[in-house]
A and B are shown apart, each in its own frame.
Chain A
Amino acid sequence: MSDSRKRFKMPLRAHVPMDKTVASQTWNVLAKAIDEIYNRNASKLSFEELYRNAYNLVLHKHGTLLYEGVTEKINSHLTETAEHLSNVPDTSLLEELSTTWSEHLITMIMVRDILMYMDRTYIQQQRRRPVYKLGLHLFRLTVWEHPKVKERSIELLMASVRSERNGLLTDDRSVLKQVLGMLLELGLSDGSNVYENDFETPFLAQTQEYYRVESQGYLSQNTATDYVAKATKRLEEEKDRATALALPLATETPLQSIIETELVERHARTLVDMEHSGFACMLKDDTKLSELRDMYTIFARVPTSVDNLREALAERIKADGKALITDQEKRASDPPAFVKGVLQMRDRYDKIVEFSFRGEKRARKRMRESFEDFLNTDARAASCLSVYVDELLRVGLRGATEDQITQELNKVIVVFRYLSDKDVFESFYKQHLAKRLLMGRSVSDDAERAMVSQLKAECGYQFTSKLEGMFNDMRISRDMQDSYKTYKRAQAAKQQSGGETNGSGRPIDIEVDVLTNGYWPSQNIPACTLPTVVQEAIDRYTKFYLEKHTGRKLSWQTSAGSAELKATFGSDPNKLRRYELGVSTYQMCILLLFNNAKTLTLGQIRLNTHIPNSELRRHLVSLCTPKHRILRKGSRGRGITSDDDTFTFNPDYTSKLKRVRIPLVKETSVSKGSGDGANAGGAGGAGGAAAASAANGAVPMKVEEDRRHLVEAAIVRIMKARKSLGHNELFAEVSRQLSVRFTPSPQFVKKRVESLIEREYLERSERDHRQYSYVA
């Protein structure tokens, strides 16, 4: 080597041109060196000398000779390589290819280094491919594009991915990774996109095909839960593989989406509807929360398919709700059970949404809508809820702590929020509250107030102002009662000092609740005829009250009161039994009649008391029950048939207790479902009125009437402000204003509009029937 260096040593004389012979000699040296590099003998070469040779060639305008020569040299080596590779058996092709590739890269780096000067000057001027890139380009053309190399390699790549997917262990992933890296680099170096064209496209197609076949096959033979587990695993595997093979993001993204489409989106409907194990089916099962969650998780990868799950949830809630309503219709008498059912349902679906849907907002919204949907099919829910609250406040919350009360009431409010007929609820609630307050049945004042303040928070001041008025009346009545006692004592003292004596012994005590007319449920029942002693007491109170408040009018609600009677039973004068009977005012009137007569007919009793017929029958029947047989009924059976039915005082009545409260029988057992009777029932049995209305789910007459006024008032208010308005805008505005209380139907509003047109508050435009204007 040292002597050859001497022989070809050139003096530095730039101005002397290099002739062709010298040039080709120089090139030969370089060519030989390249061969050596290829043969892995580079260590024997002198970099400095070779660099100079290349430098001289380029300097003396022989760049083209050099470039062409190098191209040809590389090409011939690559052709050899390609020939070799084409004969390598399939088993080791990828490995050999990968080795060849890495060797080629090293070679090219060395060659590039020698020819660095050419890269910097000649190539830039001539705009030709830099040496290194040239090497890659040639590699692609000669080696990769070789028919016996490319086709086989691709097939091998696909095969190995396929066998990995099939669960077989494959050869070293690093070989795959390297070959893919090679394709990527080849593609990038000359913009030929070999990676995309030769690998990515068939790879994605194969993936799609593979998962399409697999998912269909798997789904047809396994449960949805298994399928979800499998699909989840598949998605993870693919992600792992993509990382291991260093797939570029541009491949990984479509790969993921293909798999998601094939595994999830394509089967979304089936997975939801599948018998026994589908999402819809699992919703019925309380133990499947985590299975549901798994399915949600995998569905969430394809956002559009989650709608299927939400839809299934909505369907399920509506179906459950419908079942509750049907149950309620069948038994027709147990509104609290219905509400309990709804509360349970809500707890359950709340859990599902919270856990399985991961508290997703849209699922929660769907849930709310579904509840609203089935609860508002008629006004039943509103009345049932009120009956339920009544029960809570009378019995359910007895002895409950403040926290428990708040908790229970919060649950109620959640259901209340779903209601659109809030006014129906209010109407029933008012009736129940009246009963609780007047009969002192409430478990606690705090609970009552808590409920009202909850309602106030939901619906605003107006909604509860009457309820608050009722509480206020009760408070004032208590004060009034105290001052009445003082007044009475003073009166009594005066009478005694005046020497008058009261003829009928001690006057009876009365307790009066003074109720403001508009606040309480209106009861237009005329007062019955009261026994003289009671009437006297009432007159005294009236006198006292009107002295304090001139200009007021007291009207007595005999249907709402109660009384305590001291009664003596027994035929043997030596063995008399005395009881204190807690009865209604009506019953008191009835029973006192028997002080003067042994037997009376229904007709006679009515004549003497003027109690409305249906109420009279109910209160009488309650006095003839097997448990509390104060009176003996002449006729057989439960009901009272005619005015001539007789009632006789029963002296043989016994009871273990000294104080006996006579419960009232329910309305329905006396006269079946007469609507008016139900509405008038003031002091009546717990929830009788509501139960009757709850059963048919209609909006009560009274509420319906209030609604008419409210809608008309809203229309006039709006039209007065706007002067002229289109039908749709008017309807939207009316609905908006009233939404706190109820949701009017378009027909309902239209009827009100027509009525207002009739009464000349509004006018329909002559030109456009959809346009109304306000008539001042």
Chain B
Amino acid sequence: MWGSSSSSAKKSRRKSKSSMSGAIDEAAAEAIFAELADEEDPTVIELDGIATLCEKLDLDPESDIRILVLLWKLGSNEKPAQISKEEFMDGCHNLQLDSIEKFRNLLPALDTGFLDQDEFKSFYKFCFQFNRQGTHRTLDKDMVVALWQMVLKDRIPDERLETFCEFTETQKSYTRITLDQWTSFLDFCHECEDLSTYDESMSAWPVLIDEYVEYMEEKQKK
């Protein structure tokens, strides 16, 4: 249900990569998975397991975005806040991972700066989906603001990021953010750098963004 295009892209990438490089030590990879897997449901790694992985890799899960990039690259897709065994094993094949050491070596390559615009877009969408809770379709506003500051930093102009977060926080009529609003914001940042050319009457952006532009105009006047 989410991002079918990106997952199919990943599958094709896996094929091309596996043909290039040799097989991995599947047993070792499975051992890593088993260690991290959830106690109640050993077919998935839940947030606890991810936290353990972070510890092993010396990552701070609260602030280091690379763990999200890693999960995205591994291919967590099916449900939010977890990665299934199948996804994990496929990901290990793709990324040629069979030891914690190799995971650690991969870390420098996980900086979001290496992602091109399309890859980043896909990753950005993943960030929303991964952070959802169970069957909720939307994210809490506070969570969204925290994520934006982490994910979009250096990706869009600082001023835009700050003012948009500030605007979202002050808006009382919004308590949750939808996927459409989330993804549209990134597109909006790319497409409308100059707010003075923004035409609200013709815009197809979500109303949230219209209101942001209005908010900025008001601010400018003051």
Q: Which residues of A contact B (CB under 8 A)?
A: 726-728, 746-747, 750-751, 754, 757-758, 764, 766, 769-770
Judged by a CB distance under 8 angstroms, whether B137 is at the interface is: yes
Judged by a CB distance under 8 angstroms, whether B187 is at the interface is: yes
Q: Which residues of B contact A (CB under 8 A)?
A: 5, 121, 137-138, 178-181, 183-184, 187-188, 191, 201-202, 204-207, 210
Min CB gap A713→B, angstroms = 20
In-complex Cβ contact of A751 among B183, B204, B205, B207 (8 A): B207
Question: Can you list 7 contacts pairing A with B, beta carbon distance less than 8 Å?
Answer: A750-B204, A750-B207, A757-B178, A757-B180, A758-B180, A769-B184, A769-B187
Closest to A766 in B: B5
In-complex Cβ contact of A727 among B178, B180, B204 (8 A): B204
Give chain B residues whose Cβ lies under 8 Å from the Cβ of A727: 204
A754 touches B137 (CB 8 A): no
Min CB gap B199→A, angstroms = 11
Closest to B137 in A: A758
Give chain B residues whose Cβ lies under 8 Å from the Cβ of A766: 5, 121
A751-B207, A754-B207, A766-B5 known; A746-B201 Cβ under 8 A: yes
Give Cα distance in the complex from A769 to B182, angstroms: 12
Min CB gap B205→A, angstroms = 7
A754 touches B178 (CB 8 A): yes
Which 8 pairs from chain A and chain B are nearest by CB?
A: A727-B204, A770-B204, A757-B180, A758-B178, A769-B187, A754-B206, A750-B207, A751-B207
A747-B207, A750-B207, A758-B178 known; A728-B184 Cβ under 8 A: no
Give chain A residues whose Cβ lies under 8 Å from the Cβ of B205: 769
Min CB gap B177→A, angstroms = 11
Give chain A residues whose Cβ lies under 8 Å from the Cβ of B121: 766
Give the secondary structure class of B's interface.
Answer: helix
Min CB gap B150→A, angstroms = 23
In-complex Cβ contact of A750 among B5, B138, B191, B206 (8 A): B206
Give the secondary structure class of A's interface.
Answer: helix
Max chain A C-beta neighbours (<10 A), residue from B137, B180, B184, B187? B180
Give chain A residues whose Cβ lies under 8 Å from the Cβ of B179: 758
In-complex Cβ contact of A728 among B137, B202, B207 (8 A): B202
Give Cα distance in the complex from A747 to B191, angstroms: 20
Give chain B residues whose Cβ lies under 8 Å from the Cβ of A754: 178, 180-181, 206-207
Max chain A C-beta neighbours (<10 A), residue from B138, B188, B205? B205
| 16 other A-B residue contacts (CB within 8 Å) besides A746-B201, A754-B181, A769-B204 | A727-B204, A747-B207, A747-B210, A750-B204, A750-B207, A751-B207, A754-B180, A754-B206, A754-B207, A758-B138, A758-B178, A758-B180, A764-B183, A764-B184, A766-B5, A769-B187
Give Cα distance in the complex from A621 to B102, angstroms: 83
Chain A-chain B contacts (Cβ-Cβ < 8 Å), number: 36
Give chain A residues whose Cβ lies under 8 Å from the Cβ of B138: 758
Give Cα distance in the complex from A764 to B181, angstroms: 11
Closest to A762 in B: B180
Give Cα distance in the complex from A194 to B210, angstroms: 69
Give chain A residues whose Cβ lies under 8 Å from the Cβ of B202: 728
Min CB gap A768→B, angstroms = 9
Give chain A residues whose Cβ lies under 8 Å from the Cβ of B178: 754, 757-758
Min CB gap A286→B, angstroms = 39
Give Cα distance in the complex from A746 to B199, angstroms: 12
Min CB gap B191→A, angstroms = 7
Give chain A residues whose Cβ lies under 8 Å from the Cβ of B184: 764, 769
Closest to B122 in A: A766
Closest to B6 in A: A766
Give chain B residues whose Cβ lies under 8 Å from the Cβ of A751: 207
A764 touches B207 (CB 8 A): no
Give Cα distance in the complex from A766 to B179, angstroms: 12
Closest to A769 in B: B187
Give Cα distance in the complex from A754 to B205, angstroms: 9
Closest to B201 in A: A746
Min CB gap A724→B, angstroms = 14
Min CB gap A288→B, angstroms = 39
Give Cα distance in the complex from A751 to B178, angstroms: 12
Give chain A residues whose Cβ lies under 8 Å from the Cβ of B180: 754, 757-758, 764
B191 touches A769 (CB 8 A): yes
Min CB gap B40→A, angstroms = 30
Give chain A residues whose Cβ lies under 8 Å from the Cβ of B187: 769
Give chain B residues whose Cβ lies under 8 Å from the Cβ of A728: 202, 204
Give chain B residues whose Cβ lies under 8 Å from the Cβ of A770: 204
Give chain A residues whose Cβ lies under 8 Å from the Cβ of B5: 766
Give chain B residues whose Cβ lies under 8 Å from the Cβ of A764: 180, 183-184
Max chain A C-beta neighbours (<10 A), residue from B179, B201, B207? B207
Closest to B179 in A: A758
Min CB gap A770→B, angstroms = 4
Closest to B183 in A: A764
Min CB gap A745→B, angstroms = 10
Min CB gap B193→A, angstroms = 15
Give Cα distance in the complex from A747 to B210, angstroms: 9
Give chain B residues whose Cβ lies under 8 Å from the Cβ of A757: 178, 180
Closest to B180 in A: A757
Give chain A residues whose Cβ lies under 8 Å from the Cβ of B191: 769
Min CB gap A734→B, angstroms = 13
Min CB gap B58→A, angstroms = 36
Give chain A residues whose Cβ lies under 8 Å from the Cβ of B183: 764
Give chain A residues whose Cβ lies under 8 Å from the Cβ of B206: 750, 754
Min CB gap A760→B, angstroms = 8
Closest to A758 in B: B178
Min CB gap A766→B, angstroms = 7
Closest to A746 in B: B201
Give Cα distance in the complex from A78 to B136, angstroms: 110
Closest to B210 in A: A747
Closest to A764 in B: B180
Give Cα distance in the complex from A514 to B204, angstroms: 48
Give Cα distance in the complex from A758 to B208, angstroms: 14
Min CB gap A255→B, angstroms = 48
Closest to B211 in A: A747
Min CB gap B210→A, angstroms = 7
Give chain A residues whose Cβ lies under 8 Å from the Cβ of B181: 754
Give Cα distance in the complex from A111 to B183, angstroms: 99
Give Cα distance in the complex from A751 to B138, angstroms: 16
Min CB gap B83→A, angstroms = 24
Min CB gap B23→A, angstroms = 34
Give Cα distance in the complex from A427 to B207, angstroms: 28
Give Cα distance in the complex from A726 to B138, angstroms: 25
